[in-house]
Structure 1
Amino acid sequence: MTRGAVISLAFLVAIGAVAALWLTSRRVVLPPADSRQDTMADMPGMNMPREEATPVMPDAASLTPEAGTVTIAPERLQTIGVKYEAVAHRPLEKVIRTVGRVAVDERRLAKVTIKFHGWIETLMVSALGDHVKRGQVLFTIYSPDLVATQEEYLLALRSYQELGKSEFPEVSRGARELLEAARRRFQLWDITEDHIRELERTGKVLKTLPIHSPITGTVIRKEALAGAHVDPGQELYTIADLSHVWVIADIYEYELAFVQVGQKASVSLSYEPGTVLTGRVGFVYPTLDPKTRTAKVRFELDNPEEKLKPDMYTNVELKVDLGTRLAIPQDAVIESGQKQLVFIHHGGGRLEPRVIRTGVKADSYYEVVKGLKEGEHVVTSANFLIDSESRLKAAVESMGGMGMSKP
C-alpha cells in the first residue's frame, strides 16, 4: 500500500471517530420502527417536493403574551440590568410647554385721529417710545373750520344771552337751539367741555386747539409731523398701555382638553431665565391651524417695568393637576403596534408579559386604566432585551419534535 493511501485511510478513520463522538453527545432519538418509513419519506429529496418537506417555523413576532410566563435566570437578569418598580397611586401633574409671542392688550390700545382737516402747529410728543399720561397734550392744530365754529358759537352765545329770556317763546327757543347746535358740533369733533367753558369765559377765538392723549401709555406708532396737513380720520399716534400684555401661544389639539380659562401659567424669557412672570389663560381661540394642528391660546399677565416688549418670544409653561391616579413609569411600557405591553416580575426570574391600557401621560409616568393592580412589580429597564429573549426562546421551543432533543 502506498504512502498516500495510508494517509487517506487515516484521515477517513479520524473523521468517522469525530462523527461518532458528535452523534453520541447529541443523543439521537429515532422515531418508532413502524413510523420510520414515513419519517424518511418526509425528508427532502425522498420522492416528495422540497417545499412540502420543509418544516414550518412560527413567526416569533406573532407570539403574544398569552404564551405564558417567561423564566430567565436571575443571574442573567442582573447581567442585563433589569430593574423593577411597584405599581402605585401617584399624584400626577401634566406639564404643557410651548413658545409664545408678546402682543399688545387690544383693550388697552388707542389711536389718535381728528375729525376735521387742519395743520399741525406744535408737536409736544415727537418720538416713538415716549411715555404719555391721560389728558397730556400731544400737539396743537390749526383748522379754518374750527375757527369758524368758534365764532359761530360766540355769536349764538351772545344771542342766547340777549334773547333767551324773551317774552316770545319762539324767539327764546330759537336762540337756545342755535347755541345747542354749535355746542353739538364741538362735541362731534371731540372738543372737550373745558375748552368750551374757556371759550365762553374769555370770548376769544383760539387759532389753534390742543389735542390730548386718550389714555396713559407708550407711543408705539407716530405719523404726526410739525407743519403737516392732516385729513379727517388720519392716524397720527398709536398709544398702548404696556403695563398689562398678552402672550399668544400655540397649543397642540391633543393638549387642548387640559387647558381651561383661568388657569395659571409661568412665562419666562430664554435670555433671562431667572425672571418668571405669572399669567392666566384668558381665551382659547375657536379655530385650529390645519397645517400645524394647533390652536392659539391667549395668556394675560401684568408687565412690571415693561420687560416684555411687543413681538418678543417667551417660554410658556402650563401645569395641570390631574390628582392621584394608578400609574407606572413610561419606561415600563413597550409599544407594540396596537398594544401596550409590560412585564410583571413574580420573583425567581419569572416574568409575565401582560397587555395593559394606559390613559394620560404626565411627565415620565403613564396612568394605568386597565391590566394592573396596585402592588405588582413591573420591569422598568431592559424591557426590549427581555422581550427579544422571550420571543427567541418561544421560537426555539416551538421547533421541538424535529428529530433531535435539546442538549
Structure 2
Amino acid sequence: MLSNKRKVGLLFLLLTTSLTNCGRQDDHAEPSATPTDATATSATAALGSYYTCSMHPEVHQDHPGNCPICGMTLTKTTPPAMQPAGSTTRVLNLSEEQIRLGNIQVATVGPADASGPPSQSPTATGLRLTGRVVLNPENLVQVSARVPGRIERLYVRAAGEAVRAGAPLYAIYSEELLKAQQEFLLARTQQRELAGNGIDYAPLAEAARTRLRLWGMTPAQLNALARSGKVLNPLPYYSPSAGVVQELNLREGDYLSEGMAVMKLADLRSVWVEAQLYATDQPLRAGQPVQVSFPAYPGQHVSGRVSFISPELAGDSKVTLVRVQIPNPNQQYTPGLQAFVETVAALAAPANQASVASSLRVPVDAVLQGANGNTLWVHNPDGGFEMRMVQIGRQTSEQVEIISNLKAGEQVVVNGAYLLNSEYILQKGASSMAGMEGMKM
C-alpha cells in the first residue's frame, strides 16, 4: 500500500505530463493552418481568377457565390498577382445581375454610312463644345439718378420684368429739379415780357432748358412745362431702351443721391453663348462659323461665328473660354440655358467620301471626354469590359468619329460608360485613367 504522500506526488506527475502533451499538440496545430491557406491561394492563382465582392474587396473565393457580408453576387476577376506588372489594360468584370441593374448596353461598331444623298448646306461635322447662354454686357443699361431726391412712385416692382423703350420707370421728388423748373419758367417770362428793354433773356432761358435736359427731362416734358407754365412734381423718368430688369436696388420712399444706381436693364435681343474648349481639343479661330443648338429646343439651330477666344486657361481646369454671339429676336434663349456649339465645315469633296465611309463612329455618350484624353469601354469576347484611350475626330450632336485604337466589329458600351468608370474606381480603389496618359493609340 502506498502512503498518502506518494499518492499525491504520483497524481501531480500525471497531471503535469498531460498538460505538457496538450501544449505540444496546440503548438503543432497552430502553424498547420498556414500551409492550408497557402495551398488554397496557390490553387486560386492557378485558376487565373477568383471571385470577390465589389463592396467588400477583402472577400476572396475560388468559386462563385454570394458575399458573406452583404449578400451580393461575387464578381469573377483576375487576381492582382496574375496581372502583368506595368500593364495599362483596364478590365472590369461584372456579373449578369450587375449588368442588368446598371442598364449596360453595347453596340457593334461599323463604318459610317455614307450612302445617303449629299447635303448642299453646311453641316456640323467637327468639334462639339458644351456651353450656356449668358448676357451680352454690351446690351446692359445702367439707370442712375441724375439729381438727389426721393422716389415717390416705382413703376417696376421686381427683377425679371420686361419694359419697353420710353416706359415710365420711377417718379422722383427733388428740390433741385423744382428750383430748376422755376428758373426756366422765370427766364421764359422775362424773355416774353421784357424783350424791348434791350436785354436778351433768350440765353438765360436756353441755359435753364439745357440744365433740365441734362438732369433727365425729355423734350416732351420740357415742351409741356413751357406750355402749361406749371412745374412737374414729382417728375417721371422713362426707360432709355427696351429690356428686362436685371437688378432693382431701391423701393418707393427711398432717398437718392446723385449718381446712385436705381436699376439695371438688359436687352436680350442679342446674347452670348460661352463654351468650354479643352486644351486637348482641336484649336478654333476667331470668325470661324459654328452652329448653336439647345437641348431645350430640339431641332433648332442658330448660325453664328466665334467672336472671342480667351488667351488663357481658366485656373486649373485646363479649359479656355470660347464666345459666340447669336441673335435672339424672340428672346427665347434666356441666360443660363444650356447650349452646344459645333464647328461647321462645308461638305467633304467626293475624294474624301471613301475615308468618311471607312471611318468608325460611335454615339457621343459612349466617349468619356476629359482633360487627360478621350476613353471608351469595349465589351471583350470573354465578357470583360476594357477601357481604352482613343483619339476622336469629327463630331456631331449625336456621333463622334474614332480615329485610333478601335476596330470594326468590336462592341462598345453605348449606355452606362460613366457607371462602369465609377465601378472600376470602386473595385480597384484608383481612377481608371491612372497610368493611361502615356498609352499609344
- What's the TM-score once normalised by structure 1's chain length? 0.54
Cα deviation 1:48-85 (Å, max 9, x = unaligned): xxxxxxxxxxxxxxxxxxxxxxxxxxxxxxxxxxx999
Q: How does 1:3-402 map to 2 (within 5 A)?
A: 94-164=125-195, 166=197, 168=198, 171-172=199-200, 175-253=201-279, 255=281, 257-261=283-287, 263-269=289-295, 272=296, 274-289=298-313, 291-303=316-328, 305-321=330-346, 323-324=348-349, 327=355, 329=358, 361-362=393-394, 363-364=400-401, 380-381=407-408
Task: Determine helix, strand or coil for the equivalent of 1:128.
Answer: coil
The verdict on how the C-alpha distance between 1:361 and 1:208 changes in structure 2, with shifts beyond 3 A counting, is: same
* One-letter code aligned to 1:220: Q
Contact kept? 1:164, 1:176, Cα under 8 Å: no
Match of 2:152, SS state, is strand
How many residues are aligned here?
Answer: 254
* Distance of 1:84 and 1:304 partners within structure 2: 41
- Structure of greater relative contact order (alpha carbons < 8 Å, 6+ residues apart): 1
Secondary structure in 2 matching 1:127: coil
Counterpart code for 1:213: S
Q: Is the 8 A contact 2:124 2:342 kept in 1?
A: no
Counterparts of 1:122 and 1:93 in 2: how far apart (Å)?
52
Displaced runs of 4+ in structure 1, greater than 6 A? 90-93
Q: Percent identity?
A: 26
Report the secondary structure of 1:237's partner residue: strand
In structure 2, list runs of 5 or more residues that go unmatched: 1-109, 113-117, 361-390, 395-399, 411-441
Larger helix share, 1 or 2: 1
Q: Match of 1:95, SS?
A: strand
Structure 1 residue 149, shift from structure 2 partner: 0.5
Mapped to 1, the partners of 2:250 and 2:345 lie a distance apart of 48
Conserved in 1, the CA contact under 8 Å of 2:139 and 2:267? Answer: yes
Amino acid at match of 2:335: P
- Which residue matches 2:53? none
Name the amino acid aligned to 1:276.
Answer: Q
Q: 1:238 to 1:211 in 2, by over 3 A?
A: same
Unaligned runs of 5+ in 1: 1-82, 332-358, 368-378, 384-407
Query: Structure 2 vs 1, CA of residues 282 and 165 (structure 1 numbering), >3 Å: closer, same or farther?
Result: farther
Change (3 A) 1:262 1:211: farther
Q: Deviations over 1:283-321 (max 9, x none)?
A: 123422163443322222233553322123323322334
Q: Is the 8 A contact 1:267 1:279 kept in 2?
A: no
How far has the Cα of 1:280 moved from its partner?
A: 0.6
Max radius of gyration: which structure?
1
RMSD over equivalenced CA pairs, Å: 3.5
Aligned to 1:288, what secondary structure does the other structure show?
coil
Over 3 Å counting, the alpha-carbon distance change for 1:251 and 1:207 in structure 2 is same
Q: Which amino acid aligns with 1:125?
A: V
Contact 1:242 1:303 survives alignment (8 Å): yes
Change (3 A) 1:382 1:129: closer
